[in-house]
Amino acid sequence: MSSLPALLDTVLGVVLVVLGLSAALVAVRLLRGPSGLDRLVALDVLVAEFLVGLVVYIALTGDSSLVPVVVAISLVGFLGSTTVARFVRRGTGR
């Protein structure tokens, strides 16, 4: 029973690795995406995964000073996505 917290920490570490792997997959779509909208969707997912990674890191370390960063990114990411959507359509619509 005493090893359970250590086990949980290990699991969280594995989760971080999994998140890095999925971010790499998203980056493939980001680089390859045929249209600008593909890249935009990929970027959106990348922001979401970054948020997830930050929360996991917070849970792992118990360091709650990063929480305001999470709040800020969740808002700025939304603004960025919707703004970029407009410009994507204007520029490289294909």
Partner 1 sequence: MSALRAAPPPDPDGTLGVVLDAVGTVSIVLGAVLTLVASVGLLSLPDVLSRMHAATKPQVLGLLLVVIGGALHLRTSVDVWMLVLVGAFQLVTAPVTAHVVGRLAHRGDGVRSDLLHVDELVDSADETDPGPDSPETDEDGDDGAEGRGDRAGAGSAHRPQRAAGRSRDGRNGSSPGGSLDSGE
Residues near partner 1, by CB under 8 A: 1-2, 4-5, 8, 11-12, 15, 18-19, 21-23, 25-26, 28-29, 35, 37-38, 40-42, 44-45, 48-49, 51-52, 55-56, 58-59, 62, 64, 67-68, 70-71, 74-75, 78, 81-82, 85-86, 88-90, 93-94
How far is it, in rounded angstroms, from Cα 10 to Cα 71? 26
Distance in angstroms (rounded) separating the CA atoms of residues 88 and 72:
24
Q: Which of 53, 62, 64 is nearest to 5 (CA)?
A: 62
Two structure tokens written together for 65: 């000073």
